[in-house]
Amino acid sequence: MSNRRELYQSPNGDSWHLGREPENGRAFVIHQPNSPSGGRLRHVELGAFLSDGTGKPEQQALLRLIGTLVDVPPYADRTDGREPTRMLPSVP
């Protein structure tokens, strides 16, 4: 089983993956620049990856993946009458 999942590949060939340490389950982002840029892998903590808040396509891809982990019905379908709380920025 792979310990990484592709998040996004840019038109210039850079790619970003979600990785996980098999020993402790710690997650991080792996950035692999294209060959002309050196192609050297870089591991980035999730908080640091998302912290600039610029909404880059690779950040949006990670937020979409995180969103698939929760199953919250839309407001109209909720039975408790509460409006849902948004903790993450909306991603198209």
Predicted local confidence at residue 43, as pLDDT: 94
Q: State how far the Cα of 59 lies from the Cα of 7, in Å rounded to an integer.
A: 9
Q: Which two tokens stand for residue 76?
A: 């109209």
Q: State how far the Cα of 15 lies from the Cα of 58, in Å rounded to an integer.
A: 8
First to last CA, the chain: 30
What pTM was computed for the model? 0.70
Predicted local confidence at residue 1, as pLDDT: 42
Q: Which two tokens stand for residue 36?
A: 């002309």
Per-residue pLDDT tens listing for the chain (92 residues): 458 999 999 999 999 999 999 889 899 999 999 999 998 999 999 999 999 878 899 999 999 999 888 877 665 555 665 655 555 555 54
Phi (first) and psi of residue 76, to 5 degrees: -65, -25
